[in-house]
Amino acid sequence: MAILEIKNVSKFFGGLAANSDVSFELEQGMIMGLIGPNGAGKTTLFNCITGYYPPSKGEIIFDGKTMNGLQPDKVCKLGMARTWQKVRPLAKMSVVDNVMVGALCRTNSLKVAREMAMEQVKVVRLDHRANFLAGGLPIGERKKLEVARVLATQPKLLLLDEVMGGLNPAESEEIIRLILDIRKLGITQMVIEHDMKAIMRISDRIVVLNSGEKLAEGSPEEIVKNPDVVTAYLGSE
Amino acid sequence: MIGADITMKFPLNSNKGISTLAVIISLLVIVLLFLMPNYVKSTYILHIMILIFINIVMGSSWNILGGYTGQYSVGHSAYFGMGAYTTLILMQFRQIPPWYGVWAGMLAALVTALIIGSICFRLRGPYFVLASIAVAEIFRVSALILKDITNVFEGTLTTEIPPLTINGTVITDFSSKVPFYYTGLVFVLIVILATWLIQHSKLGYFFQAIREDQDAAHSLGISMTLYKNTALGISAILTSLSGSLYALYVGFIDPTTVLSLELSVSIVLICIIGGIGTIFGPIIGALVLVPLSEALRSNMIGQSLISSGLVSAESKFGNFLTENLSHAHVLIYGILVVVVILFMPDGVLGFFKALSAKKRKETA
Amino acid sequence: MNIFIQSLISGILIGGVYALIGIGLTIIFGVMRVINFAHGDLLMLGMYGTYYLFTLFNIDPFVSIVFTIPLMFLYGGFLQKFFINRVLGSLPQNQILLTIGMGLIMSNVVMLAFTSDYKILSTTYSSSSVSILGISISSPLVISFAITAAITAALYWFLLKTDTGQAIRATAQDREAAQLMGINVKRMSIIAFGLGSALAGTAGALISPTYYIFPQVGSIFTLKAFVITVLGGMGSIVGATLGGILIGVAESIGGVYFGSGWKEVVVFVLFLLVLLFKPAGLMGKSNT
């Protein structure tokens, strides 16, 4: 069952086509890797999908519902959540409070929200930082916080935007473990990443974007052998 | 790793809420305040207290929108003025007693807020500030033009407020300051309670999330329209309370006093001095601002300098002081704003919090 | 029809002076991303300076610009270096509050020093008019427009042709990149604020023969300056030039047809409309 259908999505900024006629589908429970050189339009696609701005053309169908033009808060309530390429902690609030904001999407009770939040804080192994202000955390922990926060919204589909960016190998390994654990919970994921080794390990399927267009789609093995993909990456350096 | 700077700015434990000691002290203070008029008969002190109460309400109401939700409106005088004018107009022209008029004032402020919100909330940061100023100025200029309605209260004391009776017994006829004092105190308690309730509810979390990062909050399921307007609505309603009380107490209002940019700035100032986004911040701000501006207005500073012999009453400087210091309170506002922004942007409370966090870090 | 043309022309002429105010504000915003709420008060200082140069030393207001420009430039630089610079990294709201506070200090010091009595600067030619193509136009307005045009031309030349001018434009476009290229962005900020202040003060000098002079006159012009810069696009000098003229015309014609009371409201409403529908303005880059 396709949980997310991207149908001929294009996004124009003035004359520039950031996304051009992109189409693919996500099956429930899979991990889809979204890769491509810088400026390929990956984050733009995320923004379109989650309602940050509407696509110029095309359709986005989530769980059978058309999402075009829905505001980000409605998108989240419907079960799609995203993390940000540049982390966005709620700096003056504590780690637990940050995650509670996510949990309050699903409950009105502060007590229940706190319990839900602590659960997620434990999942990402930030319990020792529970009462720290988010703004004081180092980058690796901020990324984990962001994951905990979106998990608290109980998403069916999770969009992770370069969640390993700027992390050391140990931290990246933790995130990979996290992503695989999230899959065990039945949550579908789409992961933007530059770390090719990580993407190969976690993805069931990979979509490659280049200059706004979909260049290729397939299993990790297929993608790695795809000559166009190799050119795109080597050519752009 | 994180340097000492960051941990100083973001102390190890976010001490949310208030300690039990603070609560006990606060309750004691409230009881004392309720008993005060029985023991303190000086009308001047009552007057100062009433002004302080009005300022606390003004500051705390703004705090909900500005401090918690991060939307710095510098046009809050619009709601103050709506409360003031609605209550007085209804009493003057329709003989509606103020305890009903106040509700009408709140409704008027709410409607105003929703209109203003629909215009201004599409904008962010400095553009929102500018729009809030522009809208408030439109109100003020319109009120100046519609002189027939709005300037009636200029220079004329209002007709006496009807006596408050319950079951035929006259509780007060508003001839003394005492009923205003108690009204002010009750309004303060209402506002503080509202702030506390918000802080400890889903609203508080969502408001602060909006302040910290609007886009992140939006993506976490928080509707910007709903929550920003809720914050504004609550803020406007409570601000109108202070406007109504001011109008009834002073009896003399005009657009230049109750709808001015100067008023909007002083409302923001109350919070900034004390500490934005805290319950006690506006209280401290009011406690600083009101005595200061009163001291200036009533020439206390000038007089005390002269009577203490530091300045001769006949000297040019002495004359200058007596004549001009009473007009200087706005100048002092300006200086305060500059000083606070430059040196204490988190207000008095924030300044001391950072100081104590630094001490804690050093002894840890 | 005659009235229309007359008000159109006066609108354009006064619009030139408005353009100066707007250009000053937009340079400051462009280089520092600071919204200078004290801009009108800088204009007010220019007015008072011109007034006293005239009443005490008999220097014609248009001539006294020779003094106003450098003095205001230095003053602006001083303000930037010691006050504005400290908040360049802070929240925009704090920056606005700081400049509001500075404006309050300036207007109230002037009020304490010179009282709030309205002052009038009348020269021999204050109420005279020239007739151009059968239309009567106020002489001071014509002279100030001519001076404005000259100053604007000089400014464009400065920004386009000189090294410093180009450095300022580079800083306005991308502060970090400019810094990486070796431009002293701190110095550029000081110069920019000095320039903005000089322009505001000059505008004040130019309108002093035709406006009442009082301490609070600044706030009216601050808001007008914002409308102009937002209309033209924050950071765009061409935009501010056009915006100034547009607002001058809108005000002039609005004043004739709606009455002078409502013309303020016209300007504010225009402001809100622009903020809502085209916050980037006619020419501007948007900045959140």
**Domains along the sequence of chain C with CATH:** 2-277 (1.10.3470)
Those residues whose C-beta lies under 8 Å from the C-beta of residue C111, and which sit 6 or more positions away, are B327, B331, C215, C216
Q: At what angle do helices B202-212 and B178-199 cross, to 10 degrees?
A: 80
* Phi and psi torsions of A161, nearest 5°: -100, 105
Chains that touch B (3 or more CB pairs under 8 A): A, C
Query: Which chain A residue lies closest to B212 (C-alpha atoms)?
Result: A90
Q: Do C112 and B129 touch (CB under 8 A)?
A: no
> One digit per residue, pLDDT tens: chain B, 364 residues?
333 333 334 444 444 555 788 888 888 999 989 888 888 888 889 999 999 999 999 999 999 999 999 999 999 999 999 999 999 888 888 888 888 999 999 999 999 999 999 888 988 877 888 889 888 988 888 888 777 665 655 544 555 677 777 766 677 777 788 889 999 999 999 999 999 999 999 999 999 999 999 999 999 999 999 999 999 999 999 999 999 999 989 888 888 889 988 899 889 989 988 888 888 999 999 998 898 888 777 766 666 666 666 666 666 666 666 666 666 778 888 888 899 889 888 777 777 777 777 777 666 5
Asked whether residue B313 is assigned to any structural domain, the reply reads no
Decide if C133 touches B, using CB distance below 8 A.
Answer: no
Res B274: pLDDT: 86
- Two tokens at A41? 């339009």
Note whether residue B120 is domain-resident: yes
Q: Is residue B211 in a domain?
A: yes
Contact C98 B334 (CB under 8 A): no
* DSSP bridge partners of C131: C136
Count of Cβ atoms closer than 10 Å to residue B100 Cβ: 13
Length of chain A: 237
Our answer on whether A and C touch (3+ beta-carbon pairs < 8 Å) is no
For residue C86, the chain B residues in CB contact (below 8 A) are 342
Q: Find the distance separating the first CA and the last CA of chain B, reported in whole Å.
A: 18
Q: Write the single-letter amino acid at A226.
A: N
Q: Judge whether C114 is closer than 8 Å to chain B, CB to CB.
A: no
Question: Phi and psi dihedrals of A201, rounded to 5?
Answer: -70, -40
Look at chain B and report how many structural domains it folds into.
1
Q: Are B337 and C83 in contact (CB under 8 A)?
A: no
Dihedral angle, C-alpha B37, B41, B43, B47, nearest 10 °: -30
> Best interface-test mutation with C: which of B116, B118, B122, B127 has the largest number of C CBs within 10 A?
B127
- Distance (Å, rounded) from C-alpha B278 to C-alpha B15? 12
The CA distance from C208 to A104, in Å, is: 59
Buried b / exposed e over A77-106, threshold 16 CB at 10 Å, is: bbbbbbbbeebbbbbbbbbbbbbbbbbbbe
CB atoms within 10 A of CB B62: 30
B341/C268 CB distance under 8 A: no
B78 at the C interface (CB within 8 A)?
Answer: no
Per-residue pLDDT band for A115 (boundaries 50, 70, 90) equals very high
Q: Is residue B146 part of a domain?
A: yes
How far C131 CA sits from the closest chain B CA (Å)? 35
Classify residue B90: in a domain, yes or no: yes
How many contacts does B have with C, using Cβ atoms within 8 A? 112
Better-scored residue on pLDDT, A110 or B163: A110
Where does chain A have alpha helices with state H?
Answer: 42-50, 72-78, 95-103, 110-123, 139-151, 169-184, 196-202, 220-225, 227-235
* pTM metric for this prediction: 0.87
Tens digits of pLDDT across chain C (288 residues): 778 888 888 888 889 999 999 999 999 988 888 889 999 999 999 999 999 999 999 888 889 999 999 999 999 999 999 999 999 888 777 888 899 899 989 999 998 888 888 888 888 777 778 777 777 778 888 888 899 999 999 999 999 999 999 998 888 888 888 888 888 888 999 999 999 999 999 999 998 988 889 998 998 888 888 888 888 887 788 889 999 998 888 888 888 877 776 777 777 888 888 877 876 766 654 433
Say if B9 is an interface residue toward chain C (CB within 8 Å).
no
- Partnered with residue C138 across adjacent β-strands are C129
> Is residue B351 situated within a structural domain?
no
Smallest Cα distance from B323 to chain C, Å? 10
Please answer yes or no on whether C288 and B125 come within 8 Å at the CB atom.
yes
Buried b (16+ CB within 10 A) or exposed e, A194-210: ebeebbbebbebbbbbb
Record the tokens describing residue B130, joined without a space: 């500018």
Evaluate whether residue B81 is within a structural domain.
yes
Domain region containing B181? 44-278
Residue A202 amino acid letter: I
Which residues in chain A touch residue B14, judged by CB atoms under 8 angstroms apart?
93-94, 97, 131-133
